[in-house]
Amino acid sequence: MTTLKIVITRHPLLSYSALVFAISWGGILVVVGRGESSANGEQFERMFLFMYLAMLAGPAIAGILLTGLVHGRTGLRDFAYRLLKWRVGARWYAVALVTAPLAITMVLLALLQVSPDFLHRLYTSEDKAFLVQFSVIAGLLVGIFEELGWTGFAVNEMLRRGNNVLRTGLVVGILFAAWDFLVVFWMTDATSTAGALPLIIFLPVTLFTWLPTYRVLMVWVYDRTQSLFVAILMHTSLVAAWTMLTPLAITGMPLVTYYLAVTAAFWVVIAAIAATNGWHLSRQPLRGQAD
């Protein structure tokens, strides 16, 4: 066994994080370095598309590659089994597909009592059919490529090494949010969505609130189903609902309020799940690690 393989086997999450950041951020910097970083309009949209495609390549490549390096052919067969596992019971599909849109809808309905700016995007859109189609396609693209690595390898490795659902969700969720930083930073700068808020306040709220919290829910579903297929659908549901429902008019502090409210809604769901399962989330919580 080579020294590199020994390091990867002993530190799979660290190895995955290093590789996924290198591939994704390296690809993004290549796109930006081509001289279009100051582009506007259609040029920026084209550049952002290539940035996002470069970003999505990271988790898929890193997840499959490291699965093969750490676990060999047996690991790759297990990876394929988890990816194709769809017989998990209707209730898990309901949880995966309904949690995000329901929570977001309830938050928007509550905030709508404060300001009409929180009227969801689907209601105000002139081309509702296109918005729905775009949201679902974008959700599938993101869900498939991102979860091949984040759930397929990172989450799976943490759980199989004895970490509980809460710890796994928060650790992977924070890493996932940090991995999103470059694209969110440039998108925020280009669209001025931070409003009057300084980026040092806006970006942490944008990245490190709702994303890690929702990841805890995703890990809980994955722990119970062992289905990468369902995890992909759950991520797809989040992206599609977020794209379809989040109002375009809100920026700055109203947008931060929205992020924090959605985060709170997800924590309420987590607390409700824990309360109905003896105040833990994992199937078989380890002694001293009850979550």
Residue 69 maps to a domain: no
Which of 206, 209, 207, 204 lies closest to 251, judged by CA? 206
The Cα 202–Cα 178 span in angstroms is: 14
Looking at the structure of the chain, the number of domains it has is 1
Rounded to the nearest 10 degrees, how much is the dihedral formed by the CA atoms of 96, 101, 103, 106? Answer: -150
Residue 161 maps to a domain: yes
Q: How many CB atoms sit inside 10 A of residue 234's CB?
A: 27
Residue 119 maps to a domain: yes
Report the helix count and the strand count for the chain, using DSSP H and E.
13, 0
The Cα 45–Cα 178 span in angstroms is: 23
| pLDDT at position 190 | 81
User: Residue 105 has which token pair?
Assistant: 């809808």
Cα 61–Cα 15–Cα 3 angle in degrees, nearest 5: 110
Looking at residue 155, its amino acid is V
Residue 210 maps to a domain: yes
| pLDDT at position 37 | 47
Residue 128 maps to a domain: yes
| pLDDT at position 281 | 92
The Cα 96–Cα 104 span in angstroms is: 14
Residue 212 maps to a domain: yes
Looking at residue 159, its amino acid is L
Spans of the chain below 50 pLDDT: 37, 286-288
User: What is the domain extent for residue 113?
Assistant: 86-275
**Strand, helix or coil for residue 163:** coil
Q: How many CB atoms sit inside 10 A of residue 95's CB?
A: 20
Q: CB-based contacts of 148: which residues, under 8 Å, 6+ apart?
A: 59, 60, 63, 64, 83, 228
For residues 218 and 235, is the Cβ–Cβ distance under 8 A?
yes
Residue 165 maps to a domain: yes
End-to-end CA distance of the chain: 36
Residue 175 maps to a domain: yes
| pLDDT at position 284 | 62
Looking at residue 184, its amino acid is V
**The model scores a pTM over 0.85:** yes
- What is the sign of the dihedral through the CA atoms of 248, 130, 266 and 223? negative
| pLDDT at position 280 | 86
Could you give the C-alpha distances from 11 to 25, 152, 157, 172, 173, in angstroms and in order?
21, 16, 10, 14, 18
